[in-house]
Structure 1
Amino acid sequence: MARLPELDEDLVKLLHDRDGVETVVMLQDGRRLVVYDIAWGYDIGDQWAHVTTNISPGREGAAVDVFLTSEVASLIDPGTDQRIYTAS
């Protein structure tokens, strides 16, 4: 079976490139997650990644969360309070 194109490549790349830098992930349900690093993957046939936060290397006091990239509303850089990603 051919691999489906992921719909979230830019989002995953942005989170990955910010490894070690605090990023606020705002989810569509209103949850606000503080993220320092991610691990992600796709199940067979998925177009959206499942993301686990703050586990590698982990950061003391940082919550470990799991979400789908399809749930992301926006990313905010708390250092500048600027929105760096908005879901289309």
Structure 2
Amino acid sequence: MVPAKSSCPVGWKTQYNGILTTNSDDFHKSEYTCMDNDAEYIEGKRLNDDDGKLFYPVKAVCGSLPCPPYISGAFVECAVCTK
């Protein structure tokens, strides 16, 4: 997974790209995942509130990250690559 990029390095194949997400909406982030821009849901499950795994989009914050190239408040992109 390549954070902050929507494409893969030369010689690598892009499996998908999307938005960087985390498992917590507080400051104790522990795991990052690339959520596919074309993610699908399981029919019949979206109406239930089972409070399963939640995904929170990661936003750039200037100071923690250099702006530019990042834009403060914008979602951070990502790509999943294979060789």
Q: Which has the higher contact order (CA 8 A, sep 6+)?
A: 2
More strand by share: 1
Whether the TM-score (by the shorter chain) exceeds 0.5 is no
TM-score by length of 1: 0.29
More helix by share: 1
TM-score by length of 2: 0.30
Pick the structure with greater CA Rg.
Answer: 2
